[in-house]
Structure 1
Amino acid sequence: MLAAAAMTIATAHTAAAPLPKERAAALTRQLQTIADDPAMPLPGLSVVAIRGGEIVYRQHLGSKRLASDGKPARPIDDDTLFRVASVSKFVTALGAMKLVEQGKLSLDADIGTYLGYRLRNPSFPNRAITLRMLLTHTSSLRDEGGFKFAPEVDLKEVLLPGGPYYGKGAMWDTRHAPGAWFEYVNFNWGLIATVMEAASGERFDRLMRRLVFDPMDLKAGFYLADFAPARIDDVATLYRKREKDGDETWDPNGPWVAQADDFDHAAPSAPAGLAAYRAGSNGTVFAPQGSLRISTGDLARIMLMLMHGGRDGHRQILAPQTVATMFSRQWTLQPDGTNGSPNGDGGSYRGLYQAWGLGNQHFTDTSMVRDGHASGERLVQGGGFKGVGHLGWSWGLNALFVFDPVKQDGMIYVSTGVGVDPDQQPGKFSSEARFQERITDALYRGAIAPLP
């Protein structure tokens, strides 16, 4: 476990010395070698390293858009926006915690008081579901019933028995009571967004702009149709290698095939029916679990704000106590699996999830071997880095946002795709794929760890 002191958010720091040019150059060469590795090629990679509360290294490699249809490849730059998959959950949690800070939401109130209907797991009718449960993946909801619905659908019709979208009730874990069992669930975040809308009366994407993005002057958002056209060209396309006209099978010898945000061929458009959407009915429309577009530079701004007690320059974005509460330990996997399976059966995902805060994973530097395979959430070979943050992967994208609140060291990386099924390249010291381990280990040793 992280020591209790590790959850104290520092409000002052000592500026880190700039990374020496030779060390920076060596790190860039190492990252380029990782990106070019034919065993796992990456079309693009953007990274940031923070030491002692200061950015000491930032680098972009490869392309945000690969050459296609006569258009040349375009390199990643400081303005490139990435669809950061589940790192979006972490940022959504910032907005939810701001509403808690303002008294518009309570972590432990029955969320039915905001939604306007009584929401219960049918097997546990006397157990209220709370925002704290949603933020810690202990709500007893599951993804099996779906986690994104059209604007005209009210989630009441999905969640309540007898509703036209309830089906067989597959969205409920009927074995474990709310608050008792960890299962990583995307649908939790659609419901969080809905509760945020119900409490504020605002559409989720616009609410996040008001609460987080605009106060920090971040060029980020959950709904691309609200972006100016010039910003659309900054959005990176996400890729995987597979047969161009084949099925979903990986093919490392095939071409790079766009999986998401291929805006050279089709501009983003509003979902049908959005004009009549009613805030507080169905926040899944804005995919709060995975649709945030943001640059690694602006992710670093968020990280620094949290390191500095919720302050961004002269602006207090979150109160220091709100930040401390957000990163306080809420759930820890028990060795006997009584609150989440240690083998990943609806629990820790092959040992990757060992502990959780409010909308953030706690990286406890755990590494183990199960059935001859490494597992755990260790970020550095041999250990040495504990922190809080979030992982993201989908559509070929892989991302990490993690920092140590006490030492004020942090790492961010986003890759725009992968050329091989990551499951075919297991890690040596964690549940992550080997290429992910190589990136974090290189960032830590090259930019954060003291030189030997």
Structure 2
Amino acid sequence: MNGNRRTLLGLALLGAVDPVLAAVPFSSGGRNDKLDRELSAIVQDPACELASLSVLAIRKGKLAYEGQFGRRWIGNAASPDSAPDLPANRDTLYRIASISKMMTTLGLMRLVEDGKADLDADVSGYLGFTLRNPHYPDRAITLRHLLTHTSSLRDEAGYSFPAGTALREFVVPGSRLHAEGKMWAKNAGPGEYFTYCNLGWGVIGTLMERVTGKRFDRLMQGLLLQPLGLTAGYYVAGLPAAALANLATLYRKRTLDTEVWDAAGSWIAQVDEVRTRPPAPAPGIERYVIGENATPFSPTGGLRISARDMGAVMLMLMNDGVHAGRRILAKETLERMFARQWTADGKGGNGDTLNGFFNCWGLGNAQFPAKAGLRLVEGAFDAVGHLGDAYGLRSTFAFDRKRKNGMIVLIGGSSSDPGHHKGRYSALARFEERVLTSMFEHAIAGQG
């Protein structure tokens, strides 16, 4: 977003939210006391307390439930000068982690529709340099490969770089930052093997800049966020003042520089602690060159947005790409995007499921068939969407396209290691399963 217009535009967007949502329709879903109690109990469970929780459920294309619990900002109780805690509310924004990839994909698909990019073309032609796995130099890498995590890129050498660093200096063999080339798989070429890769979305964001000539965060405002009337952004320092004041700090009861947890200790801010420290501009932003490296804006995980505004995105997808009477994406584009591209063979021969998290994939979206070991809830919820996990946040954006049922979950951090709270029927943490299944039972399946 243009810094000179930030305040004016931010106020305009904030003023536009309720009329836009009412038009789609997105009126209040009413209260659900039993669900309120269950979710509140999960948040306060001493076995694993949650810093905050913001959720939304859609049933048959209409808002069925939304609720917020816990605190978006937690003061230091040991300090007499500490400001009071701030509760999460309907419009609290969260850094939604990897669900950002799906939102980035929606922007990319608009460019594909406009003929600015082709899913099956060699991305080298868009990037302005040759992108090749040096172990498979004769194989082109395409957007389809990047979107399905089959590009043969890997995260082992990193996936985020400061402004002023050209991405080609990292990925091109022999370049300044290529070093040992750990960003390239040796055992599988493009299109052969699924390995979840954040770096791929840095490439996608950079490509989007190259074909449009616009900085990634501002580009996504024009492609997706503003057309939907959302108060959201990939650049925290560019958010309007009202949004910053309502941004959730992400917490863990874990130190920042180690992985030592203390469930009986204090909450420790991990990211977006903007109440006491206003966000600084991205390092080196004055040296930013459009089309060289979009990772400072984190196309892979950096979107700040509320559950309610994510609900507007979900409704647009349920309505075949139409929002408030305006077409955002063609129905055919969404069919293409959500068509199954990769399915784990169950033997590890065609991909790494990361202990069961990734089993089926579309273009920039995970898929969760209602089958044992693959499902998100204890019920008939055949979903597509995305999960997120970073800096304490755990997030879910999942919907059943056929039935127009969907759920959004944003968890602002946990008091103990989620890995110690294994799920009973999925790869999720048990507290995530409890939230999702409770929502499904009481806001979707249990309704008349």
Tell me the TM-score normalised to structure 1 length.
Answer: 0.90
Structure 1 contact 354–364 (Cα < 8 Å) conserved:
no
1:350 has 2:355 as partner: yes
| 1:291 alignment counterpart | 302
In the TM superposition, residue 315 of structure 1 has moved relative to its aligned partner by 1.2
Structure 1 residues 364 and 203, CA gap change in structure 2 (3 angstroms): same
What's the secondary structure of 1:417's corresponding residue?
coil
Correspondence 1:118-267 to 2 at 5 A = 118-242=130-254, 247-267=258-278
In the aligned structure 1, how far is the partner of 2:27 from the partner of 2:107?
33
Within the candidate set 375, 378, 387, 1:378 is matched to: 375
In the aligned structure 2, how far is the partner of 1:142 from the partner of 1:247?
24
| 1:370 alignment counterpart | none
In the aligned structure 1, how far is the partner of 2:28 from the partner of 2:214?
43
In the TM superposition, residue 319 of structure 1 has moved relative to its aligned partner by 1.1
Structure 1 residues 321 and 255, CA gap change in structure 2 (3 angstroms): same
Structure 1 residues 409 and 274, CA gap change in structure 2 (3 angstroms): same
In the aligned structure 2, how far is the partner of 1:123 from the partner of 1:228?
46
| 2:393 alignment counterpart | 397
What's the secondary structure of 2:333's corresponding residue?
helix
Please identify, of 348-357 and 222-231, the stretch whose mean Cα deviation from structure 2 is larger.
222-231
In the aligned structure 2, how far is the partner of 1:16 from the partner of 1:304?
9
In the TM superposition, residue 231 of structure 1 has moved relative to its aligned partner by 2.0
Structure 1 residues 57 and 299, CA gap change in structure 2 (3 angstroms): same
In the aligned structure 1, how far is the partner of 2:220 from the partner of 2:200?
17
**1:287-324 CA distance string (max 9 Å, x none):** 11111000000000000000001011121111111111
Query: Where does the alignment leave 5 or more consecutive residues of structure 1 unmatched?
Result: 1-13, 341-346, 368-375
Correspondence 1:321-360 to 2 at 5 A = 321-340=332-351, 347-360=352-365
1:412 has 2:414 as partner: no
| 1:43 alignment counterpart | 51
Alignment-mate amino acid for residue 318 of structure 1: L
Structure 1 contact 193–284 (Cα < 8 Å) conserved:
yes
**Coordinate RMSD, CA, aligned:** 1.8
Structure 1 residues 243 and 390, CA gap change in structure 2 (3 angstroms): closer
Structure 1 contact 16–52 (Cα < 8 Å) conserved:
no
| 1:428 alignment counterpart | 424
In the aligned structure 2, how far is the partner of 1:26 from the partner of 1:66?
26
| 2:435 alignment counterpart | 439
What's the secondary structure of 1:259's corresponding residue?
strand
Structure 2 contact 29–66 (Cα < 8 Å) conserved:
no
Query: Where does the alignment leave 5 or more consecutive residues of structure 2 unmatched?
Result: 1-23
Alignment-mate amino acid for residue 32 of structure 1: S
In the aligned structure 1, how far is the partner of 2:355 from the partner of 2:244?
37
In the aligned structure 1, how far is the partner of 2:283 from the partner of 2:266?
32
Alignment-mate amino acid for residue 71 of structure 1: A
Tell me the TM-score normalised to structure 2 length.
Answer: 0.91
| 2:67 alignment counterpart | 59
Identical amino acids, percent of aligned pairs:
45
Structure 1 contact 380–437 (Cα < 8 Å) conserved:
yes
Correspondence 1:72-151 to 2 at 5 A = 72-151=84-163
In the TM superposition, residue 252 of structure 1 has moved relative to its aligned partner by 0.6
In the aligned structure 1, how far is the partner of 2:204 from the partner of 2:357?
23
Structure 1 contact 243–254 (Cα < 8 Å) conserved:
no
In the aligned structure 2, how far is the partner of 1:358 from the partner of 1:408?
20
Please identify, of 59-68 and 303-312, the stretch whose mean Cα deviation from structure 2 is larger.
59-68
In the aligned structure 2, how far is the partner of 1:425 from the partner of 1:59?
23
Structure 1 residues 425 and 322, CA gap change in structure 2 (3 angstroms): same
In the aligned structure 1, how far is the partner of 2:300 from the partner of 2:29?
35
In the aligned structure 2, how far is the partner of 1:304 from the partner of 1:313?
10
| 1:305 alignment counterpart | 316
What's the secondary structure of 1:418's corresponding residue?
coil
Structure 1 residues 18 and 450, CA gap change in structure 2 (3 angstroms): farther
Within the candidate set 365, 368, 381, 1:363 is matched to: 368
**1:1-39 CA distance string (max 9 Å, x none):** xxxxxxxxxxxxx99998675xx1001100011111001
Structure 1 residues 16 and 196, CA gap change in structure 2 (3 angstroms): closer
Structure 1 residues 153 and 28, CA gap change in structure 2 (3 angstroms): same
In the aligned structure 2, how far is the partner of 1:196 from the partner of 1:366?
36
Within the candidate set 321, 324, 328, 1:317 is matched to: 328
Structure 2 contact 172–178 (Cα < 8 Å) conserved:
yes
In the aligned structure 2, how far is the partner of 1:37 from the partner of 1:257?
18
Structure 1 contact 135–188 (Cα < 8 Å) conserved:
yes
Moved over 4 A (4+): 14-21
